[in-house]
């Protein structure tokens, strides 16, 4: 029986207002929100999760899957790392390289989505990785705040998933975070 598979897409840290400060309340909230979607996916029967390994949403999602698996003692949960090309992490900081190594160690499978002899542009290799993830998943969880004129890998991946008929769960992080903060404020007043 084929396992139900879910993949992730979202931005790198520099696209968020907190950038690399993961202690920022918005980042902490977003990580919690990703964890809730993972829990919902597991409740819906998903046991295989594919991540892209980039900094930001990819790493946060991978770490949340690892944490869920450990917390709930779920040996049936698999983490798959889709690697866009061999030296994609060469510019990572030492801390981020260490985080990536922990993700590699925790993953049950690693897939190189562009062969070593692929001479296409780096951007295209990331798109190939995203297509691989969607092509091998039934659900995409995307941290994505759609707006007019937006472009980039996450937008492409969401559109590709929709075209392929995958279920798309969008986390419009800014909209949801601000709504939740307004609601908390209104309850205090």
**CATH number of the domain to which 119 belongs:** 3.40.50.450
Per-10-residue mean pLDDT for the chain, 189 residues long?
Answer: 92 93 97 98 98 96 98 97 95 96 97 92 95 98 80 91 97 92 84
pTM for the predicted model, two decimal places: 0.94
- What integer pLDDT is reported at residue 171 of this predicted model? 96
Residue 64, by phi and psi: left (phi above 0), alpha (psi -120 to 50) or beta? Answer: alpha
Residue 129 near residue 98, CB atoms below 8 Å: no
Residue range(s) defining the domain that contains residue 121: 4-188
Nearest to 146, CA basis, from 5, 11, 8? 11
- What integer pLDDT is reported at residue 189 of this predicted model? 67
- What integer pLDDT is reported at residue 186 of this predicted model? 87
Place of tokens 């897409």: 9
State the total domains in the chain: 1
Give the bridge partners for 112, in sequence order. 83
Order of strands, sheet of 46-51, starting from the edge strand that comes earlier in the sequence: 109-112, 78-83, 46-51, 4-9, 139-143, 167-171
């Amino acid at each position: 029986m084929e396992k139900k598979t879910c993949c992730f897409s979202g931005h790198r840290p520099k696209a968020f207002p907190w950038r690399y400060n993961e202690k920022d309340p918005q980042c902490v909230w977003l990580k919690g929100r990703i964890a809730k979607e993972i829990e919902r996916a597991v409740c819906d029967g998903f046991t295989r999760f594919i991540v892209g390994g980039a900094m930001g949403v990819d790493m946060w999602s991978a770490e949340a899957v690892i944490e869920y698996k450990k917390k709930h003692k779920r040996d049936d949960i698999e983490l798959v790392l889709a690697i866009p090309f061999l030296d994609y992490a060469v510019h990572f900081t030492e801390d981020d390289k260490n985080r990536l190594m922990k993700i590699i160690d925790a993953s049950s499978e690693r897939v190189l989505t562009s062969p070593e002899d692929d001479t296409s542009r780096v951007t295209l290799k990331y798109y190939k990785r995203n297509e691989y993830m969607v092509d091998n998943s039934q659900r995409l969880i995307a941290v994505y705040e759609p707006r007019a004129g937006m472009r980039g890998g996450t937008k492409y991946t969401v559109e590709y998933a929709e075209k392929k008929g995958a279920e798309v769960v969008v986390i419009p992080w800014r909209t949801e975070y601000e709504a939740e903060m307004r609601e908390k404020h209104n309850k205090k007043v």
